[in-house]
Amino acid sequence: MDKNQKPLLIIPAFNEEENIEKIVRNLENHYPQYDYVVINDGSTDHTGEICEQKGFNVVNLPINLGIGGAVQTGYRYAKKYGYSVAVQIDGDGQHDVSFVEKVVQPILDGEANVVVGSRFLEREGFQSSASRRMGIGILSALIRLCTGVRVKDVTSGFRAVDRRFIEIYARDYPSDYPEPEAIITAVMYHGKIKEVPVVMRERENGESSIDFRKSVYYMIKVTLAILIRRISYGVRR
């Protein structure tokens, strides 16, 4: 892979008016050589206006598609403009952008097709609540059972993919709560997955879209989705 190819940083954002400028400025300061696109996912606050006023590169979705639709829009953008590497970064400020190069490097070195930034390898920074960690552990075990591949931080949205998976995810990316299902997709398409340690932060502003009720729904839905996706895919070339 051409190491001079600029990665595209994909930033899905829904109602992140308190966070989005800080995230983009941090990325611009750390990686002025990289490109980025904010996917404003039908926000009802001033996220879109802030991006336009500040001159940020933004795609404004007319309706809320959810995290899966927003991220897939980013992959379609990356495919359209010919990027060889794409990096997902959440729009809530939880991902430490100083680790972007660490997530990208295995792609550039040809060691992986999909790289997951994991908070659980070195257990530094914000580790989430005990109940969420337990849920993540259950999903990790289920994915390992279904695929033989172990990924500890299966819900991490801090990821990098190569050109092949930009094209795959541009046409086939799960909706709703997509991160665990996207790992199944990577395995079924014979992708090599690697986890690297990163540090994540607790959300500074705004509120998480997942409360207790949604967490229960999340576990049921994702468990069923993983099983269905694994059964329906077979092994793709």
Q: What's this model's pTM, rounded to 2 decimal places?
A: 0.86
User: Running DSSP on this structure, what letter comes out for residue 58?
Assistant: E
Contact 56, 74 (CB under 8 A): no
Q: What is the per-residue pLDDT across 15-32, written as a single tens digit (0 to 9) for each?
A: 999 999 999 999 999 999
pLDDT of residue 180: 92
Kindly tell me if the per-residue pLDDT of 203 is higher than 90.
no
* Residue in 88, 78, 72, 63 with CA at minimum distance from that of residue 175: 72
Helix 212-233 with 130-147: angle, nearest 10 deg: 10
* Residue in 139, 130, 103 with CA at minimum distance from that of residue 219: 139
230 pLDDT tier (thresholds 50, 70, 90): confident
How open is the CA angle 11-15-17, to the nearest 5 degrees? 85
Across the range 156-166, mean pLDDT stands at: 96
Distances (CA, A) of 164 to 17, 149, 161, 185: 33, 20, 8, 12
The domain 8-233 having CATH identifier 3.30.360.10: the answer here is no
Each domain of the chain, given as residue ranges in start order, spans 8-233
Q: What is the per-residue pLDDT across 50-63, written as a single tens digit (0 to 9) for each?
A: 999 999 999 999 99
